[in-house]
Amino acid sequence: MRVIPVIDLLGGQVARGVGGRRSEYRAIQSLLAADARPATIGRALASLGFQETYVADLDAIGGREPAWRTYDELVDCGLTLVIDPGLKTAAQARDLSRWAAARQTTIGIVAGLESSPDPDTLAAMCAAVGAERLVFSLDLRAGVPITESAAWQGLAPEQVALVALRAGVRRMIVLDLAAVGMGQGVGTEQLCRSLRNLDPELELIAGGGVRGAADLRSLSTAGCNAALVASALHDGRLTVEDCRAVR
């Protein structure tokens, strides 16, 4: 199982997540780096042997322009990026794909449930950038799907996942924002087992609440291919050796 560090971008800095309550996010204080600048954090992660990072561009998710310059800096650190810029259209997905092509880098392009208008748009994004690049994020808050779209409302997490699979999704993140930065564990293992049973070939990534090595092992046992980590890594509760042990 891969371990993927998370970089939450907010106001030009790397922020620490707090239960998905973005108004409470502040610049991260990390044992790994001297400051919260994205390039500083990126270099620290690369120096520890991490090759991939998940970038949640919270400003873009809120409606602003994607942080193209910061993406450039992180690529220059030697990292492969999985980027969530709050995509709402297939055209936006193609813009991100064109940026990656110009930088001659491979990326994952995240389409989050929180931002997704409807299943048809998700299918269009898959077609626009390819199922091998598109990553659908099943965004939850305390187990409940996060959406303002009538097209997704009323569906249980497993139903949302099934619709996404029918739209062409082959890579999926299960992310419970209520668990982010709270140190209380992930709590989505049963859902991950259900999704693994839905599609044994699905690339399944889980995040939100990883406290340490035991949570990584739990997610691996639940069938996850990768885990997103942030606070535990920066606080020292999760070590590089822990991450290597589950690979």
What CATH number has the domain bearing residue 238? 3.20.20.70
CB atoms within 10 A of CB 154: 9
Helix (H) or strand (E) holding 219: helix 213-221
Q: For residues 86 and 113, is the Cβ–Cβ distance under 8 A?
A: no
At residue 166, the pLDDT reads 96
Give the CA distances from residue 230 to residues 4, 122, 140, 190, in Å, rounded to whole numbers and listed in that order: 9, 27, 17, 22
Q: Are the CB atoms for 222 and 193 separated by under 8 Å?
A: yes
Do residues 135 and 110 touch, judged by C-beta distance below 8 A?
yes
**3-state SS, residue 101:** helix
Residue 209 pLDDT: 82
Quote the pLDDT of residue 183. Answer: 61
pLDDT at position 246, please?
80
Q: Which domain holds residue 60?
A: 2-245
Q: Output the pTM of the full model.
A: 0.93
The Cα–Cα gap between 208 and 46 comes to 22
Q: What pLDDT score was predicted for residue 17?
A: 62
Tabulate helix, strand, coil % of the chain (nearest 5): 40, 25, 40
Tell me, what's the pLDDT at 28?
79
Count of domains for the chain:
1
pLDDT at 18: 59
pLDDT value of residue 22: 61
In the predicted model, residues of the chain with pLDDT beneath 70 are 17-26, 179-183
pLDDT of residue 111: 97
Tell me which H or E stretch contains 172: strand 171-176
Total Cβ atoms within 10 A of residue 101: 11
